[in-house]
């Protein structure tokens, strides 16, 4: 593949707009098509971003023979259906997190991609940032010794409205699937799947989790202490602690731009990675590199790990008695 990757986006919401803006910054990407459930919405999006092909139907977009990769930016509850639609049409797919509503849906989607030998990736954009590459390199070089603990949070205050996706059970609302997946995914990247999960959540008037605290124990006894919320502004920091020091990813750690390495008897070292774009260009570039290398999944966000993370999210919700209407 020598030409720019031709993208189509399903959805016209906030994240779709951010991804579209990022694609404009990449010389090896072209946003060719936008898909919405309403033609007028697709046309407005197309006019704003200079998209040649606006579709008022998702099937029309994935059926476009010129579209090579599809970014699924629809509500959580639609991820599995929309990803299957694109895979059935033979497209590579980058699906926004959470990958699906639950692990059962995730297994079906992954199985379809593997059966059709098509590229598929969960859009956990944080993993693709340059700072995260530096973090992995430092840990691999034993910069802080044996890594034993992670503390991380992601919470923000949203005002309650009945129409909000965040509070709607039918749309997979709640803190865990919206932003709690970030610290859970970071713990997975560092330590692998948890062997024990202890957690508590406050469920709001609609029955979804509005705040939660989680302690995950991992294979060699490592601990991850995590918090998430959609009714509280939290510090949004992550601290990775080892036997020889610690790495603090400064707020907002999930869109990482700065990190401090602290070790006993040594001067702190600060690493900064200023952003020129909005950050979504990194995951788009990762997809491009994978496609050009003939890969069917990304080594930064392997599908088996995505499945493992979905199992962890399921286990957490089971502890809280949180089940969505479509399950």
20-57 per-residue burial string, b: 16 or more CB within 10 A, e: under 16: bbbbeebeebbbbbbbbeeeebbbebbeebebebbbbe
First to last CA, the chain: 40
For residue 282, give every residue at least 6 positions away whose Cβ sits within 8 Å of its Cβ, in sequence order, or none: 125, 128, 129, 130
Distance CA 280, CA 86 (A): 21
Catalytic choice (14, 66, 91, 97)? 97
Distance from the Cα of residue 298 to its chain's centroid: 13
Tokens representing 118 are: 């098509």
Distance CA 293, CA 288 (A): 9
Going by the DSSP 8-state scheme, the letter that residue 165 receives in this structure is G
> Which helix (H) or strand (E) segment is 202 a member of?
strand 194-203
DSSP, collapsed to helix, strand or coil, labels residue 197 as strand
- φ/ψ bin of 315: left (φ > 0), alpha (ψ from -120 to 50), beta (otherwise): alpha
**Residue 97 designated active-site:** yes
Q: How many CB atoms lie within 10 A of CB 317?
A: 23
State the chain's maximal CA–CA distance in angstroms: 62
Q: Which residues are catalytic?
A: 97
């Amino acid at each position: 593949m020598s030409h720019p990757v031709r993208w189509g986006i399903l959805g016209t919401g906030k994240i779709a707009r951010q991804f579209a803006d990022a694609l404009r910054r990449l010389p090896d990407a072209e946003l060719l098509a936008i898909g919405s459930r309403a033609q007028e919405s697709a046309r407005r999006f197309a006019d704003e971003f200079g998209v040649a092909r606006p579709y008022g139907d998702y099937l029309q977009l994935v059926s476009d023979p010129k579209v090579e990769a599809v970014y699924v930016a629809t509500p959580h509850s639609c991820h599995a259906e929309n990803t299957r639609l694109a895979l059935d049409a033979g497209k590579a797919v980058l699906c926004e997190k959470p990958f699906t509503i639950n692990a059962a849906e995730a297994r079906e989607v992954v199985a379809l991609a593997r059966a059709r030998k098509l590229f598929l990736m969960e859009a956990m954009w944080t993993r693709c940032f340059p700072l995260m590459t530096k973090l992995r390199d430092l840990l691999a070089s034993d910069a802080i010794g044996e890594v034993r603990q992670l503390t991380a949070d992601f919470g923000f205050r949203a005002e309650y409205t009945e129409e909000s996706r965040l509070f709607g059970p039918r749309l997979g609302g709640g803190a865990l699937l919206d932003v709690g997946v970030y610290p859970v995914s970071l713990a997975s990247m560092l330590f692998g799947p948890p062997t024990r999960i202890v957690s508590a959540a406050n469920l709001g008037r609609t029955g979804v989790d509005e705040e939660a605290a989680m302690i995950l124990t991992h294979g060699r006894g490592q601990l991850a202490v995590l918090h998430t919320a959609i009714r509280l502004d939290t510090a949004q920091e992550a601290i990775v602690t080892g036997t020889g020091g610690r790495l603090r990813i400064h707020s907002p750690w999930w869109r990482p731009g700065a990190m401090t390495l602290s070790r006993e008897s040594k001067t702190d070292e600060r690493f900064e990675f200023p952003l020129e774009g909005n950050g979504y260009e990194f995951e788009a570039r990762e997809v491009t590199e994978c496609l050009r290398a003939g890969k069917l999944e990304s080594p930064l966000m392997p599908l088996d790990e995505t499945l493992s993370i979905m199992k962890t999210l399921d286990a957490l919700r089971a502890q809280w008695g949180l089940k969505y209407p479509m399950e």
